[in-house]
Amino acid sequence: MEFQVSDRVMLKVSPWKGIIRFGKRGKLSPRFLRPFKVLARVGLQAYKLELSPEMARIHNTFHMCYLCKCLEEEKSVIPLTKIRVDEDNRCVEEPEAILERKTKVLRHKEVVLVKVQWKHHRGSNVTWEEEEDLKRCYPQLFA
């Protein structure tokens, strides 16, 4: 895959790499960062990107395996200013609402699960979580 100068590409991030760490939830962590403009091609397999000021401490040249052509419109992209990041540079997940509640019966106990709608997620932005964990982390949802 090749990109042209002024194309818009998404930057692939990994929760295991040291670039930017986006939390422990593998399923909910973002796989790509917002679209960036290609400034120049460096060699055969690298591209220089126009990064935002928040990412000033990251080098702006990336191998093409970390890039993906952006096919979305600019309005559907979440700006980095709306994403909360903690002191370890991990994305802080924020629940928006509780949609449903059910009890799952296991062999020796019952577990109460709640269907949570998360902020800033595309596609299926709902997951089933344990009610006790959510009460501990987000007591404002249960007020």
Q: How many CA atoms lie within 13 A of 88 on its CB side?
A: 10
Q: Give the phi and the psi of residue 68 in degrees, each rounded to 5.
A: -140, 135
User: Over the chain, what is the mean pLDDT?
Assistant: 77
The CATH number assigned to the domain with range 95-142 reads 2.40.50
Token pair 């019952």: residue: 110
* Residue 26 pLDDT level (bands cut at 50, 70, 90): low
For residue 47, which of 33, 32, 31, 66 has the smallest C-alpha distance?
66
What is the value of pTM for the model shown?
0.45
Q: Which sequence spans correspond to the domains of the chain? A: 8-82, 95-142
* Residue 77 pLDDT level (bands cut at 50, 70, 90): low
